[in-house]
Amino acid sequence: MIDFTNIKVLLIGDLMIDHYIYGESDRLSPEAPVPVIIPKRNQYFAGGAANVAMNLSHLGAKVTCIGVVGDDKYGKQLLDILRKNNICIDKIEILKSEITTLKQRIFCNERQITRIDHEKIFDWNPSIKFISNELKLNYDVVILSDYNKGVVNDSWLQFISCKDMIIDPKKDNFSIYKNAKIITPNMNELQKVFDFEINENSIQKACNQLISDYNFEYVIAKKGEKGITIVGKDNFIKNIKPHLVKNADVTGAGDTVISALSLFFHKEGDISKAAEFANYAAAISVSKKGTSFPRIGDLKNFFNKKSINDKMEFDH
């Protein structure tokens, strides 16, 4: 096993709350060909960058969040979830007259039928002094979890190279992330950057171009059910095979990848092993329903070199 309990992480990003509404229906509406749903159960989970914080905390790290929530009931609920999971919320700003980013997933007879997003791009510019003071503190890992809701902006640009940041990107222009140590785009995010098709044959070319243009040390390309490709400087490349998971729910898988990768890489300094560990952790995450995360105990089979499909009991 591995111990992450002494690692201090600063997480900067777009905090959200996920609301799951589970209902039942036995008739259609007379107003439109849609089911009439009777709500039976509600669940709330930390989402977006807040889910990254949950992943980090339940892997054992000490986590401090920087971000914003609205001055509403969902913001209070999200802060309460984070606080109860031993995540430091002192640096999270509550913005007056703003809403907290909310994703509502509605299920009918156990099948998701729609998602409703309540969001606003925050115009949030923390002071340079605040950023500088935070980054001078003794954090072992600094992660930017960008969901393109306003928190990760030009304010952070000049500081990215000084703290070996690890970034999960969302913007179409990667120049804002210049000089990051590691960046973890998925295939769709890579495709938005390039005018040629991103596939298994072109992924190394694309990642090498990003490294050349923006001075990244590693690009971790997340390929979903096809695994992970690592591309680094000096033509380094490594393909990590996927773990096959039946009926996978991919909600939050990228959050698990950046969390597990960051902690393992800080601890061991081996990018290939870190990506293998992150890939395994993500397979556990997608084997659960909804917004979820693995705990360190869930990962014991990784160290025993067992398959993800070996029988295990997972906590939500």
The answer to whether 14 is a known catalytic residue is no
CA dist., res. 158 & res. 305, Å (int): 41
Q: Looking at this protein, which amino acid is placed at residue 46?
A: A
Kindly give the pairing relationship between strand 38-48 and strand 62-70: unpaired
Q: Where are the beta strands (DSSP E) in the chain?
A: 8-13, 15-24, 38-48, 62-70, 88-95, 101-108, 111-118, 141-145, 166-168, 182-183, 218-222, 228-232, 236-240
CB 107 within 8 A of CB 8: no
Matching residue, tokens 């809403």: 99
CA distance 306 to 204: 29
Angle in degrees, 0-180, between the axes of helices 253-268 and 49-58, rounded to the nearest 10:
50
Neighbours of 303 (CB within 10 A): 11
For 274: left if phi > 0, alpha if psi spans -120 to 50, otherwise beta; the answer is alpha
Distance CA 266, CA 281 (A): 16
> Which is the catalytic residue, given 18, 146, 255, 298?
255
Q: Which two tokens stand for residue 113?
A: 């039928």
- Looking up tokens 């907290």 gives 100
Catalytic positions, please?
A: 255
